Structure 1
Amino acid sequence: MPQMAPISWLILFILFSLIFYFFNSMNYFSYLPNSPMKKKKNKINISPMNWKW
């Protein structure tokens, strides 16, 4: 069984590296997080606290 030439290993490495890069970039840019600001207004409930020392 003949061995692969080094240039073929380099081409395979570049090919799999590009596939890995594109796959990760697609996953990164396709994620849309849910922003809590759109659903409800930013209300801060402040209850007064009287500290008596």
Structure 2
Amino acid sequence: MPQMAPMNWLILFIFFMSMFYLTSNIIYFMFIKNKKSYKINFNNSKNYNKFI
């Protein structure tokens, strides 16, 4: 196996960290969107019950 230069390790590290950052952001925003929609639905049901 040929020895890799430090620049290749730096590029690999940056690539994997950027992929981890993107995936974590996607998961985080999906979770917040689901939580917000659940909260909105809960508030709507609460308001409907109060109105009735």
What is the TM-score normalised by the length of structure 1?
Answer: 0.68
Matched, 1:25 2:31: no
Q: How does 1:1-53 map to 2 (within 5 A)?
A: 1-31=1-31, 32-33=34-35, 34-35=38-39, 36-41=42-47
Return the index of the structure with the highest Cα Rg. 1
What is the TM-score normalised by the length of structure 2?
Answer: 0.69
RMSD between aligned alpha carbons? 1.7
Structure 1 runs (4+) greater than 6 angstroms displaced? none
How many residue pairs were aligned?
43
